[in-house]
Structure 1
Amino acid sequence: MERNLATAADRADYLVELSNIACQVNLGGPAPRSLHRLHLVIQALIRLTGDRNVSVYLVADRSLLGGRREFTDPADARMLRRWVTAGLVEEVPDADERVLEIAGMTGIQVVTGDHYDDFRLEHPWIQGNTWQFLKPEPARGGTVRLVPLDMGHRTGAEISKKMELSALKKQGLLTPARKPLVEVVGRAWRCPEQRCTLYSVHRGGRVMLPRMRQGLPTCELHGAPLLDDGTRPGAAQLKVVVDGQCVARYTLDEGSQTAVGRAPGTADGIALLALLPSALAARVSRRHLVVSVRGGSVVVRDTSTYGSRMRAAGRHGQCGPWEQLPPGANRPFRPGDEVELAPGLVLTRSGRRFPAELAGSWQSEVARRPLPPGAAEATRIMEA
């Protein structure tokens, strides 16, 4: 197998995300981690190309070797360590980012089972890609076959949701059942180091999520356990979209009530006049909508002369049919939902969710999926 490993990406025929392949339990037996799966992939590439000397460049997360005890065969961990030392595996903190960097620059085909949903804003070339990614699948006789992986198109809401999940996972804020630790995510934190503002919800801008270490929320910079600073205030982001292009974004705080229209006439309102061509602005009421944020949820109310339409984001991010908004009635306004003020002018929520919405979203997702082996018991222990 080593003769097929390249020491540089520009010398390889294929790029393999080793962390993803080594952990695919549907390939080559139930072991949590196994290099035998790489052997099966290389054999599949040989059959696909007819070249016994086909070469692959391996990229792996540092955590793959860090979890060496999960290799059923201890020889695999020793072999992987030797490959890293010999330059046959590029070991990086985040293999996904490095794989996409190489693939984007070189056009090399990638063997992986990952759809990279959370990287599509940074790497838009992934959207609709049907040729550059190959997915290993079980085949007869314990072998593996490689099939083209259609990356499809993801909506902004789907991408944001995946990015949120990745952020929580990275910080150790997901249970084995893929549920967020609501008691951590839903709280505000502060570092005991007085000059540290990484977690301060009062400083404005993006607030870091705490990292869980030994069961405690911990400061990323100072390594000290964080202090509970009360309930985390919510924030929702609205986007103004004109003819399919986002022209402005606004952040609404918990407890706010914001008028949106041509010229709402209030200091905290969202005035659209300067963003719109005159013909479109004429079809928007001075005070068209009111968006309210209460208790971690967002509602919208039509207050216009001309009326508004709304459509809700479905489970897979595709919006449903347009429905007329009843005048004066509050309607839930969830991530991905769209409100049309006039033809060509849409107000939508970004995929960023409140802590309460995150919890509800992931709990609903868990209810639709079987838990991985051992997750139920692990979750029971963590929640006890």
Structure 2
Amino acid sequence: MRFETSRALDAIERRLNVDPLATGGIIDLVEAARSVDLDGGRPAALLRLGQFIDALSRRLGDGNTGLYAIAERGAMSDTDFTSNERMVLRRWSDDGLIEMLPPGARVNARVREVAHLTGVPVITRSPLPGHPGPVYLAIAGQGGLELSLAPAIGSTPRPHPVLQRYWRCPAADCPVLGRVPAQGAGQAPPALPSGAPICPRHGDRLIDAGPRPLAMALAVRINGVVRSRFLVTAARPMVVGRAPDDPSGVTIGKWLNDESSRRVSRNHLRFELRDGMLLVTDVSTNGAAILARTGPTAQPREADLHRGEPKALGEWDEVEIYPEITVGRADRPPADAPRGTAPNSVMADAPTIAMRLPPPR
């Protein structure tokens, strides 16, 4: 069982990230670890985090989506965790895989702040009244943990202007903001307790490290499963098609059957970010359509997409290239959420007890 636990924690580790562009949900790590109702086991267990990752993978149809986990430093000395789990938490913190806040910091407030700044959904066991962005309520069911997407309260705020700059912590060894990533890559958002950007780990005022192009993560879904994930930045439009002329484009030909190969053009859609808006242009022969939604629970409505004319996309919209082939935001579930087992499950090697759910009452 120890070997199985280690393998499962390694699989979870590979799906932790503090780059919002690589994640599909933001979570309070300790709240997730203390979800005793998932297995009736110890008061706190890191393996439970894997059930949240698998539930998110099912919801998004994405076997590689990441989780943005936040904890307070006291978790690393919490004896409700085993000594091995405390060591793992320290490694995750030191490697910059999770955001570790100073002692006494309010994790829930930071979860909301990161979600507000980035637009990435929050995953929680308790409702968040008044939160303006998308919220997944995690519910234990007979088929496993499920994420119920709460109706949105208005539209999600646009990404905060602070994300249009790179920031660097004065502490060179800071695992989260100690170095500036490559141009175009994402970065954990600063904390803004009083408006000035500070390091969420150390509390130091951050150094402005230059402009950062606005970026958005998109995903190509075929039959509800993410086959390709890519970034669009203000400086770099992206073309999606069967085999785009631009070698840096998104090629989906290897996932097409004979019929869809005939209908999907080599260059089919061009995506670009302009003035903070995501625009799509149909550059194909056979056309495409926008499946427009006003919110997570709204039924999609087909909207016209005229060839050669850029069209602004809403946060819940998808573009249909061919039936069951769509492109949309990577951190927003499709209109028809996939069901069944999680693709690339992190719990595949977990001990059986870690996946046992209590019987219905």
Taking structure 2 as the reference length, what is the TM-score of the superposition? 0.50
Taking structure 1 as the reference length, what is the TM-score of the superposition? 0.47
> Per chain length, whose mean CA-contact separation is higher, i.e. which structure has more relative contact order (CA < 8 Å, sep 6+)?
2
